[in-house]
Chains A and B, each alone.
Chain A
Amino acid sequence: MKVERSVRVEDKLFCNRYLVDTGRPHIKVRAHTRPSPQLLALLKACPARCYELNDKGQIEVTVDGCMECGTCRVIGEPTGDIEWSYPRGGYGVLFKFG
């Protein structure tokens, strides 16, 4: 009972509809050598698991599954760790039910 099965977020996102604006990510991570505590928090707080640690120990973002919730903006924008915008009109997540 105690074991927390790890949830596959990709499977969840798979049923969503997206129109990805290829080559124009709406969120950017500021270049860094060691990630700040805020950036590290995004690894877990992002509900679409868009943030990942690369081999060099830096945080990267892939916005393809982003649901535009703004959680990473609230955590990471004040420190300047990320730049956050909405995707271009019409692009991004398209909720059928919402």
Chain B
Amino acid sequence: MIEESFDAIVVGAGMAGNAAALTMAKKGMKVLQLERGEYAGSKNVQGAILYADMLEKLIPEFREDAPLERHLVEQRFWIMDDRSHVGLHYRSEDFNEERANRYTIIRAQFDRWFSAKVREAGATVLCETTVTDLAQDAYGRVIGVRTDRQDGEIHADVVVLAEGVNGLLGTRARLRERPKTNKVALAVKEMHFLPRETIEARFNLSGDEGVVIEAAGTISGGMTGMGFIYANKECISVGIGCLVADFQRTGKTPYELLDRFKRHPSVAPLIEGSEVKEYSAHLIPEGGYKAIPQLYGDGWVVVGDAAQLNNAIHREGSNLAMTSGRIAAEAIFQVKSRRLAMTKENLALYKRMLDRSFVLKDMKKYKDMPRLMHTNSQNFFLTYPQLISKAMQTYLRVDGTPKSEKQKSTLKSFVNARSWIGLFGDAFRFARAWR
């Protein structure tokens, strides 16, 4: 039973919660962090690419002992139809730098390491503890939490909600809405183990070099979604995710989708002969800027996935989570140092600071993307990939057809499928949303 009261309680020991707890503990605040998993990371799923810059701001010397897999020297984007892929590959020797920019990681291991840093900084971390409710006073101000451990409440000046995409507490307390089916994607993923040398040979890597593949196209069967293949040291993460609304609408099953992706002739050789050691599933917030809820209130702030801070277009989430957690912690510390109360008015500082960061600037840039992708999913994820594949094949196959005729027939197939108006409309809408 914890009788004392804290400066801050952080719910969740994921990317956002760890960043927030670490930042506040380092500044000497009395912090309690609660995590429902047996250990930090035991409930978390990610691809996973770690962006070094955002972690460096928290732990500058993280490369010394963090469990990192491979630093990325190559990125591939694949547009796929059922039998082919058109790829854009970027590889650069410049990425073989001492302070690499991106790494692959294994979340369960990384979070454990991150959590140890939080403890070292002086925060009290309690795992195996599910927070069941927020404690509110008669005016609706958040004053602490209730857990499934002890009867009674634990009090704090402020509660940082870093509870991830499902965020039960915030929704139960009516601080924000429950995630909607067209604003979250369900991703399923498997860990495929292979000898190191096999992975390096198959992906054209040496030493700790790494590569990631992002894939879109008919693999999602007309649903809004993407697949991914990330090379780790001794395993490969293979996964695919689509909007929950699309799963609901089409009745396609997530595991069949994943298996179809694995059987694709471009994917199968990469994972052939591997041993699968884990199958996982998790939601990803995909609503974008327009889905961001109220971020602060009397006695609380919300950070990371729980606040829908996730850039689905660039597949960035953990870095936005870490950054929003750090910024929230810095704002809280400023309010505290000025000896002010943790009121909605004073905590608005968090939002002002977040507005100035890349987090909300990036989210805002793509504010129209989620709707565009969703309302045009058939075109973007079925029609175009098929047309592009056909165009490439027509172009590459040498069969005595004059090139001018090939060009004409390719153009015709695009116009037949989408009409001129459709093509220009799609290009225009895409360009606008991307701008």
Q: Which residues of A contact B (CB under 8 A)?
A: 4-7, 9, 12-13, 15-16, 19, 38, 41, 44-45, 47-49, 67-71, 73-75, 77-78, 84-90, 92-98
Contacts and interface: CB of A to CB of B under 8 A. Distances in A.
Given A97-B108, A97-B280, A98-B106, 9 more contacts: A49-B253, A68-B166, A71-B283, A75-B244, A86-B168, A89-B147, A96-B108, A96-B278, A98-B42
B319 interface: no
B68 interface: no
B251 A7 contact: no
B85 to A, nearest CB: 17
B179 A7 contact: no
B178 A78 contact: yes
A67 B280 contact: yes
Interface string B320-341: 0000000000000000000000
Contacts of B148: 88-89
B374 to A, nearest CB: 15
Contacts of A96: 108, 277-278
Given A69-B281, A90-B38, A95-B45, A47 B188 contact: yes
Given A74-B184, A75-B181, A78-B178, A45 B244 contact: yes
B307 to A, nearest CB: 16
B108 A41 contact: no
Interface stretch (B89-97, B127-135, B202-210): B127-135
B45 A98 contact: yes
A28 to B, nearest CB: 15
Interface string B38-76: 100111111010000000000000000000000000000
Nearest to A92: B43
B165 A70 contact: yes
A96 to B, nearest CB: 6
A48 B281 contact: yes
15 contacts: A4-B260, A7-B255, A12-B276, A38-B248, A41-B247, A49-B255, A77-B178, A86-B168, A89-B127, A89-B130, A90-B36, A93-B42, A97-B107, A98-B106, A98-B107
A86 B42 contact: no
Given A15-B276, A86-B130, A87-B130, A94 B42 contact: yes
A79 to B, nearest CB: 11
Contacts of A98: 41-46, 48, 106-108, 111, 278, 280
B279 A16 contact: yes
Interface residues of B, number: 55
B248 A45 contact: yes
B44 A89 contact: no
Contact of B252 (A44, A75, A84): A44
B102 to A, nearest CB: 18
A12 B188 CA distance: 11
Contact of B278 (A45, A70, A97): A97
| In the A-B complex, the 9 residue pairs with the closest CB atoms | A90-B128, A98-B107, A12-B279, A98-B108, A47-B281, A70-B166, A89-B128, A69-B281, A47-B254
Nearest to A41: B248
Interface of B: 36-38, 41-46, 48, 106-109, 111, 127-130, 132, 147-149, 165-166, 168, 178-181, 184, 186, 188, 190-191, 235, 244, 247-248, 251-256, 259-260, 276-283
A97 B147 CA distance: 26
B367 to A, nearest CB: 22
Given A69-B281, A85-B168, A41 B42 contact: no
Contact of A95 (B43, B166, B181): B43
Given A16-B278, A98-B107, A70 B179 contact: yes
A15 B106 CA distance: 17
Contacts of A48: 281
A68 B43 contact: yes
B259 A5 contact: yes
B251 A44 contact: yes
B252 A94 contact: no
A91 to B, nearest CB: 8
Nearest to B181: A74
Contact of A4 (B181, B256, B281): B256
A97 B106 contact: yes
A44 B247 contact: yes
A67 B36 CA distance: 14
B191 A97 contact: yes
Contacts of B280: 16, 67, 95, 97-98
A43 to B, nearest CB: 9
Contacts of A68: 43, 166
A73 B165 CA distance: 12
